[in-house]
Amino acid sequence: MCSLKKDDINEFETNMVQLRAFYNEVKGVLPDCPNKYGMIGLYLLFLVYKNRTADYYTEVELLTLEEQKNPCIAVAMSLEQYFVDGNYYKVLNTKQHAPIPVYNYFIDKMTDTVRYETARSVEKAYRQLSVREAQKMFMLSSAEELETFVNQQKPKGLENDVAWVLAKDYIHFEATEKEKLSIPADVVINQSLGFAQELEKIV
């Protein structure tokens, strides 16, 4: 947890590997630590965030069915399922049901990813979107947050030939056209014929 407060994910993973080994060694010998399932659930969130599917399912298989029903574990498993199903609204909504505050570290990161992917879909599906609908769609609490989000999305939108314009309580998605390179057909044909003649001479 201290590693996440320092925003050091690599250190977090190293510590969690050691902690998981400790949990396995003392299982059935010592009583469960009060934070055990909270930490395992946090590690599952980390694996989901990193898209390490194989490692995630390996960890889940180490848990009994009763352990999987623990609220801390269940939240992480539900979030992974939401990603698989493409149910982004539920992913965004998970933060309100985090069993312990530290879960929000990874939930926030995943939420940013979901908003980014949603933005790519919205800019293709809509010509304009009201500020109110946009706030609801991107799960943002204020117009100020939406404005910041729009400004963050503008560069990526332009890469996809879409300009994001926030004006008059609407976000407008305006198509842009990149300059197309023209290739003179007659020049290409002449060059190809020339190459063919030279090749024939060599043969």
Q: What is the pLDDT of residues 15-69, one digit of tens each?
A: 999 998 888 888 878 888 888 999 999 999 999 988 898 999 999 998 999 999 9
Determine the Cα–Cα distance for residues 118 and 110; give it in Å rounded to an integer.
12
Q: For the chain, what are the domain ranges?
A: 2-114, 126-184
Q: How many CA atoms lie within 13 A of 98 on its CB side?
A: 16
Asked if residues 12 and 4 have their Cβ atoms less than 8 Å apart, the reply is yes
Asked if residues 121 and 128 have their Cβ atoms less than 8 Å apart, the reply is no
Instruction: Quote the mean pLDDT of the chain.
Output: 84
Cα–Cα nearest to 4, from 113, 98, 74, 102:
102
Per-residue model confidence as pLDDT tens digits over 4-27:
999 999 999 999 999 988 888 888
Per-residue model confidence as pLDDT tens digits over 108-134:
888 888 888 889 889 889 999 999 999
Report the CATH architecture of 2-114.
Alpha Horseshoe (1.25)
Per-residue model confidence as pLDDT tens digits over 137-155:
888 888 889 999 999 999 8
pTM value surpassing 0.75: no
